[in-house]
Chain A
Amino acid sequence: EVQLVESGGGLVQPGGSLRLSCVASGFTFSVCPMHWVRRAPGGGLESVSAINPNGATTYYANSVKGRFTISRDNSRNTLYLQMGSLRLEDMGVFYCAREGTPGTYDLWGQGTPVTVSS
């Protein structure tokens, strides 16, 4: 089955860290650019970060630049998001998404929730 399965979300204090993982199956992970997308508690969607197929090129939203790091392990079909210096405004559900063809998300995971609270 073609799917993305995220994990690693949870409750963290402001200033804390969290690492999200996304395991891909059913397709050739190593040829696809991959993304993290956040759904904020109010419902808005935000593209957080992206990585090219070999991991050499990464992109970040200004809101997370310097605090989050995207990476991938193609041998494990796994995408990661290391989140640091977490803020209240980082809360939400984080989705892993596949860019199967240029300029679109054609496959989404089920999401993993992140709560930032003291």
Chain B
Amino acid sequence: DVVMTQSPLSLSVIPGQPASISCRSSQGLVFSDGNIYLNWFHQRPGQSPRRLIYKVSNRDSGVPDRFSGSGSGFDFTLKISRVEAEDVGVYYCMQASHWPWTFGQGTKVEIK
């Protein structure tokens, strides 16, 4: 299975400050169709996960533009340009280029 390794596993951020989460894959993620199926999800306590980013850098409709995804090869990053209180929760990267689709361990973001 492809192992997805996130870092850091927890973040404490002052509102208005930036935050960055790294995700590294153990294998390349280029699918046979040429796409890289790397996603980012956010899960608040008591809620279902919500997709933020798909195919590395495509932001979902309704997701604030302070969220951005980037990366290539084995290394990918989710950046929040200015953290807000509603951004608390756990962030997961997930690869969907190889079955089984696999998630990172999750990064817990809290507000200072």
Which A residues contact B (CB, under 8 angstroms)?
Answer: 35, 43-47, 50, 59-62, 95, 101-106, 108-111
Q: Does B100 contact A (CB under 8 A)?
A: yes
Q: Tell me whether chain B's interface is mostly helix, strand or loop, or mixed.
A: loop
CA separation between A102 and B106, bound complex, in Å?
23
Which B residues contact A (CB, under 8 angstroms)?
Answer: 1, 31, 33, 35, 37, 39, 41, 48-51, 54-55, 60, 90, 92, 94, 96-97, 99-103, 105-106
Contact across chains for B90 and A105 when beta carbons are under 8 A apart: no
In the complex, number of A-B residue pairs with CB atoms less than 8 Å apart: 62
- Specify which of A43, A50, A61, A108 is in contact with B106 (CB 8 Å cutoff): A43
Contact across chains for B51 and A45 when beta carbons are under 8 A apart: no
Closest CB in chain B relative to A90 CB, distance in Å? 15
CA separation between A63 and B96, bound complex, in Å?
18
Closest CB in chain B relative to A5 CB, distance in Å? 11
Contacts of A35 in B (CB 8 A): 101
CA separation between A108 and B105, bound complex, in Å?
19
CA separation between A64 and B84, bound complex, in Å?
39
- Specify which of B35, B49, B90 is in contact with A95 (CB 8 Å cutoff): B49
Contact across chains for A45 and B96 when beta carbons are under 8 A apart: no
- Specify which of B31, B50, B54, B94 is in contact with A45 (CB 8 Å cutoff): B94
CA separation between A103 and B30, bound complex, in Å?
11
- Apart from A43-B106, A61-B100, A95-B49: 14 A-B pairs, beta carbons within 8 A: A44-B105, A45-B103, A50-B101, A59-B100, A101-B54, A102-B37, A102-B96, A103-B37, A103-B97, A104-B51, A105-B94, A108-B50, A109-B48, A111-B48
Contacts of B60 in A (CB 8 A): 106
Contacts of A43 in B (CB 8 A): 90, 106
Closest CB in chain A relative to B18 CB, distance in Å? 24
Closest CB in chain B relative to A4 CB, distance in Å? 9
